[in-house]
Amino acid sequence: MRIEYSPRGIFLSEIGLWLDAQEPQEACWISHAHSDHARSPHGTVFATPATLSLYRTRLGLDEAGFRPLDYHECAEFHGARLTACPASHILGAAQLLVEHRGERLVYTGDIKLRPPLCGCATETVACDHLIIESTFGLPIFHFLETEQARRRIAGFARECLDEQTTPVFLGSTLGRGQEMVHALSEAGIPVSVHGAIVHYLPLYEAAGYPVQWEPYDAESTKGTAVVVTPGLRDQLEASARNLRFAYVSGWAALANARLGARAEHLIPYSDHGDFQELISMVQSSGARRVDVVHGYAEAFARILRQTGCDARAAGVRAPEDE
């Protein structure tokens, strides 16, 4: 299958379908609702129903042109068969299987192998050609098992609350923010939430991940854990005292994140796969040809080539934060 990589996204020219296009296009597959993937409106949009509703919430679009594809559901498009397959990342994330003239292509989008705290678990799909991400594609990245992460999040919160300090979790707007609110609520720890994380909580709740939370209020943080986006940190620090910061991220696998994120406690949990997860996904796909996008693409492709795989780094866009 012909695949064109450019800063505008990935284009399957034979069937006229874009994957996570950065600019408006006639037809596009959106792997998940993170802003670097679901960036702009398109004529026809293929995505899972959950991704479509997050995408709509974010961009304020109407539903015209939406082509919801639930997990395992298929659609015919310009002579190809498109199937959405579960991807462990954020709510609604999916891989796309494209079958065209006897060839099977899988585009993972952002993905990990371990189940997320909220969302579905990855199902690996056999294919000939795999497009995989490599945000953490170096052998120094080892993340926690999901249950360990859940325990560590709750454990840090409890320990701080016991010492009359306020645990603060810095999380992304969409994904880890809601996951942490969910994990803390499940552990019976009161949570205050600040910033844009709030917008998506109802969608997570509707998807079956109960959350118990209060809007953040500087006067009444005592006795609650706080979940905020990193951008609100300074405001938070100006208004409250005795804060202790935890950084929940893939980057927290490295001790230098303590300085970078200005957090004392590191919890290496990500919505991306660590090195071993990425390697396992490549191996179990059986793909003979692998294109690597994002992050340490060059290095990860070299490592795959050493294992005899026809792998190359595909320049899509500059790596950005998770």
Partner 1 sequence: MDRFAQVCDEVAQTGSRRKKVRLLSEYLRGLSDEDLPRVVRFLCARPLARTEAELSIGHSRLRDALMEILPWEPEIVRLCFREVGDAGEAIGLLLEGFTRREPMTLASAELLYQRLYYSRRAAGKVSLLTSIFLQHRPRTLQYFIKVITGDLRIGLKEKIVEEAVAAAAGAAHDTVRKASNRSGDLPAVALAARRGRLHAVEASLFHAMDFMLAKPVDQVREILDPAIWLVEDKYDGIRAQIHASGDKVMIFTRSLDEASSSYPEIAAAVQALPHSVVLDGEVLAWRGGSPLPFFALQRRLSRKRLTAEILEQVPVIFMAYDILYLDGDLLLDTPLEQRRALLEQTLAGHGAPLLVSPQQRADNLETRFTEARERGNEGLVLKRPGSAYESGRRSGAWVKIKRPYATLDVVITAAERGHGKRATLLSDYTFAIRDGARLVNIGKAYSGLTDSEIRELTRLLPSLAQEESGRVLLVRPAIVLEVAFDAIQRSKRHASGYALRFPRIVRWRRDKTPDQADSLARVRQLHEGRAGVRQSRAFLNEPGI
Residues that bind partner 1 (CB under 8 A): 138-142, 244, 253-256, 258, 264-266, 276, 296, 299, 302-303, 306
**Least Å from the CB of residue 112 to partner 1:** 17
DSSP element (H, E) containing 267: strand 265-267
Give 62 or 256: the residue with its C-beta nearer to partner 1: 256
Give 8 or 302: the residue with its C-beta nearer to partner 1: 302
DSSP element (H, E) containing 227: strand 225-228
Q: How far apart are CA 110 and CA 151, in angstroms?
A: 24
Under the binding rule (CB under 5 A), the answer on residue 179 touching Zn ion is no
Tokens of 104: 């099977």
**Least Å from the CB of residue 255 to partner 1:** 6
**Least Å from the CB of residue 32 to Zn ion:** 6
Give 40 or 242: the residue with its C-beta nearer to partner 1: 242
Residue 268, number of CB atoms within 10 A of its CB: 22
Give 37 or 265: the residue with its C-beta nearer to Zn ion: 37
| Residues 16-55, interacting with Zn ion (CB under 5 A) | 34
State the amino acid at position 168 in one-letter form: V
**Least Å from the CB of residue 139 to partner 1:** 6
Give 106 or 160: the residue with its C-beta nearer to partner 1: 160
Q: Identify the residue whose tokens are 């969409």.
A: 174
Tell me which stretch binds Zn ion (CB under 5 A): 103-111, 122-130, 154-162, 240-248: 103-111
Give 11 or 143: the residue with its C-beta nearer to partner 1: 143
**Least Å from the CB of residue 22 to partner 1:** 27
Among Zn ion, partner 1, none, what does residue 123 contact (CB within 5–8 Å per kind)? none
DSSP element (H, E) containing 248: strand 243-248
Q: In what order do the strands lie in the sheet with 9-12?
A: 3-6, 9-12, 17-19, 27-29, 44-47, 66-68
**Least Å from the CB of residue 92 to Zn ion:** 11
Among Zn ion, partner 1, none, what does residue 112 contact (CB within 5–8 Å per kind)? none
For 75, the 3-state DSSP assignment is strand
Give 209 or 296: the residue with its C-beta nearer to partner 1: 296
Under the binding rule (CB under 5 A), the answer on residue 110 touching Zn ion is yes
Q: How far apart are CA 215 and CA 178, in angstroms?
A: 13
- Smallest CA-to-CA distance from 48 within 82, 14, 18 is with 82
What letter would DSSP give residue 99? E
**Least Å from the CB of residue 276 to Zn ion:** 19
Residue 96, number of CB atoms within 10 A of its CB: 26
Decide: 43 and 23 in contact? Cβ < 8 Å. Answer: no
Residue ranges with strand state E in 3-89: 3-6, 9-12, 17-19, 27-29, 44-47, 66-68, 74-77, 80-86
Tell me which stretch binds Zn ion (CB under 5 A): 55-63, 107-115, 211-219, 256-264: 107-115
Q: Which residues bind Zn ion (CB under 5 A)?
A: 34, 110
